[in-house]
Amino acid sequence: MLAKRIIPCLDVRNGKVVKGVNFEGVKDVGDPVELAIQYNKQGADELVFYDITASYEGRGVMLDVVRRTAQQVFVPLCVGGGIATVDDFRDTLRAGADKVSVNSQAVKNPKLISDAAEIFGSQCVVVGIDAKRNDKGGYSVFINGGRVDMNLDLGDWVKEIQERGAGEICLNSIDTDGVRGGFDIEMLKFVCDRVSIPVIASGGCGTIEHFSEVFEQTDSSAALAASLFHFGELTVGEVKDYLKKKNIAVR
Amino acid sequence: MIAIIDYGAGNLFSVKNALDYLGLENKITKDADDLRKADRLILPGVGAFADAMRMLNESGLVDVIREEVQKKPLLGICLGMQMLFEKGYEFGETDGLGLIKGCVKLMEPEGSLAIPHIGWNKLEKNEPCSLLDKCGDGEYVYFVHSYAAECDSKNVAAYCDYGMKVPALVFEGNVFGAQFHPEKSGETGLNILRCFAAL
């Protein structure tokens, strides 16, 4: 059976890796290619590069970073941030990415999901979602790095994403992101109950126990974390050893 | 030199990157002479069976491939592995290269497992095969596919379990096929490519 995946996420701005707390107060911490090589050695199952500024400043994705990483790292690479067209998908895949993640632009233009899935295959289309609890007891989808409320219901959106042929959903909870109190179990359950495509848990991981918690309590296929790994608090290897002890299948 | 056969389908650069990283001389090529000069061939492939076979036929390389596999090893990867079989049933029935007996059909796993089969799954060794010399039983490799081979167990070096027994690594004489992507399967995948280069 499939192993649960541990995915370090590298938020990239101007060719450097950054990590914000609740998307504010960004600080620089390193070279993305170097970090990618480190994570690969630690046993990362996949790597995500996310251009955090591109979605609202119109910057292109870091194709050169992707190209250099693909020459030295032999696990799947996913790239997101600023992807708006089928041509962006093509350029990113040609640079060596295996998957492309689309977020804000998919909300504005859902046809992008179906077009990309048809041309490049579902396996390379990942839809990232930033969602937050609303005052009606549900969840709302936000865009532009969690800044803009689209008044779009999360349940409706994930069903549409699946129908349009996306291969995966990467669910980031704005409520838990950067706070390090654990993944948003409730929100993840809500989404896993509504789709059959794999769901990647993102946002909120702060301790090693949070990884076992998300796999024991939800049907998430993968867990994504950023700061925890690249400030060196935990290695991917330590997380996987821990999960093995908990009888969770990992590579 | 390892010739990476370029017939218009698939992501050739990730295979090239992996061979470059391993220091193995290689060339992405659609030139029949390169295939004759090479000491090994790799047939990559991403996409649909019928389309890819059409492109391979149009490339004029099919006869050369058939001749050269009498003399040198060939590794098909993902769709390139599927095309080694006699027939494929993706968008109708299409003839494959027929280098290994069997056909390729849509996966029908038990339970409610999602198709495509995407992710890291375990190799379960079956028949002994030199490509797995550096690989222990139960090592994980990376799969992305919806169709799978149906063939004799004697041609299967390793299966993986995805609600059905999926032929993961197949072989017949000089001809080898990996349903997974060795170029995306970390150290285990690189070791399989090393073994292929050492045949």
Q: What's the ipTM?
A: 0.89
The reply to whether residue B13 touches residue A251, judged by beta carbons under 8 angstroms, is no
Q: What is the reported pLDDT for A57? A: 43
Task: Map tokens 């690969």 to a residue.
Answer: A40
What is the count of structural domains for chain A? 1
Tokens, residue B5: 């056969």
What is the count of structural domains for chain B? 1
Nearest CA in chain A to B140: A251
The larger pLDDT score, comparing residue B139 to residue B7, is at B139
Question: Using 50, 70 and 90 to split pLDDT, how confident is the model at B112?
Answer: confident
Tokens, residue A175: 């409520």
Report the distance separating Cα B176 and Cα B174, nearest Å. Answer: 7
Burial class for B170, CB neighbours closer than 10 Å (0-12, 13-18, 19+): buried
The larger pLDDT score, comparing residue A108 to residue A35, is at A108
Task: Map tokens 């069903």 to a residue.
Answer: A159
Tokens, residue B3: 């010739």
Please choose, from the candidates B71, B66, B60, the residue with its C-alpha nearest in 3D space to the C-alpha of residue B38: B71
Q: What is the reported pLDDT for A122? A: 87
CA A179 to chain centre: 17
B142 reaches A (C-beta below 8 A): yes
**Nearest CA to CA, how far is B76 from chain A (Å)?**
18
| Residue A251 included in any domain | no
Using CB atoms, pick whichever of B13, B121, B185 lies closest to residue A2.
B121
Q: Domain residues for A239?
A: 5-245
pLDDT digits (tens, 9 = 90+) for B131-159: 999 999 999 999 999 899 999 999 999 99
From residue A109, alpha-carbon distances to A84, A132, B175 in Å are 9, 21, 45
Torsion of CA A221, B45, A78, A37, to 10 degrees: 100
A197 reaches B (C-beta below 8 A): yes
Please choose, from the candidates B30, B21, B24, the residue with its C-alpha nearest in 3D space to the C-alpha of residue B2: B24
A76 reaches B (C-beta below 8 A): yes
Q: What is the reported pLDDT for A33? A: 87
Question: Which residues between 59 and 118 in chain B have a beta carbon less than 8 angstroms from any beta carbon of chain A?
Answer: 112, 114, 116-118
CATH number at residue A132: 3.20.20.70
Amino acid at residue number A92: T
Question: Using 50, 70 and 90 to split pLDDT, how confident is the model at B10?
Answer: low
A237 reaches B (C-beta below 8 A): no
Q: What is the reported pLDDT for B86? A: 98
Using CB atoms, pick whichever of B14, B140, B183 lies closest to residue A251.
B140
Using CB atoms, pick whichever of A3, A70, A251 lies closest to residue B14.
A70
| Residue A69 included in any domain | yes
What radius of gyration, in Å, describes the C-alpha atoms of chain A?
16
Question: Using 50, 70 and 90 to split pLDDT, how confident is the model at A22?
Answer: very low
The reply to whether residue A3 touches residue B144, judged by beta carbons under 8 angstroms, is no
Tokens, residue B112: 């409610």
Q: Which residues contact A157 (CB under 8 A, 6 or more apart)?
A: A107, A129, A141
Question: Using 50, 70 and 90 to split pLDDT, how confident is the model at A25?
Answer: very low
Mutate to test the interface with B, among A1, A2, A5, A196 (most CBs of B within 10 A): A2
**Nearest CA to CA, how far is B38 from chain A (Å)?**
23
Using CB atoms, pick whichever of A71, A75, A122 lies closest to residue B184.
A75
List CB contacts (< 8 A) between B121 and chain A: 1-3
Give mean pLDDT, residues A58-69: 74
What radius of gyration, in Å, describes the C-alpha atoms of chain B?
15
CATH number at residue B147: 3.40.50.880
Task: Please provide the average confidence, as pLDDT, over all residues in chain A.
Answer: 89
Amino acid at residue number A238: E
pLDDT digits (tens, 9 = 90+) for B62-72: 999 999 999 99
Q: Which residues contact A83 (CB under 8 A, 6 or more apart)?
A: A61, A89, A92, A100, A101, A102, A103, A105
Answer whether residue A27 shows pLDDT above 50.
no
Answer whether residue A26 shows pLDDT above 50.
no
**What's the farthest any 2 CA atoms get from each other in chain A?**
48
Answer whether residue A63 shows pLDDT above 80.
yes
Using CB atoms, pick whichever of B120, B144, B183 lies closest to residue A45.
B120
Q: What is the reported pLDDT for A135? A: 93
**Helical (H) or strand (E) element with B13:** helix B12-21
Question: Using 50, 70 and 90 to split pLDDT, how confident is the model at B9?
Answer: low
Report the distance separating Cα B137 and Cα B46, nearest Å. Answer: 27
Please provide the distance, in angstroms rounded to a whole number, between the alpha carbons at the two ends of chain A.
11
The one catalytic residue in B68, B90, B139, B183 is B183
**Nearest CA to CA, how far is A3 from chain B (Å)?**
6
Contact predicate B15/B45, CB 8 Å:
no
Q: Which residues contact B132 (CB under 8 A, 6 or more apart)?
A: B123, B125, B157, B158, B169, B192, B195
Answer whether residue A21 shows pLDDT above 80.
no
Strands in B100-106's sheet, in edge-to-edge order, are B94-95, B85-88, B100-106, B147-150
Answer whether residue A53 shows pLDDT above 80.
no
Answer whether residue A55 shows pLDDT above 80.
no
Q: Domain residues for B157?
A: 2-198
List CB contacts (< 8 A) between B144 and chain A: 123
The reply to whether residue B118 touches residue A5, judged by beta carbons under 8 angstroms, is no
Report the distance separating Cα A54 and Cα A81, nearest Å. Answer: 5
pLDDT digits (tens, 9 = 90+) for B53-100: 999 999 999 999 999 999 999 999 999 999 999 999 988 899 999 999
- Is B86 a catalytic site residue? no
| Residue A250 included in any domain | no
Answer whether residue B170 shows pLDDT above 90.
yes
Burial class for A165, CB neighbours closer than 10 Å (0-12, 13-18, 19+): middle
The reply to whether residue B120 touches residue A93, judged by beta carbons under 8 angstroms, is no
B136 reaches A (C-beta below 8 A): no
Report the distance separating Cα A94 and Cα B13, nearest Å. Answer: 8
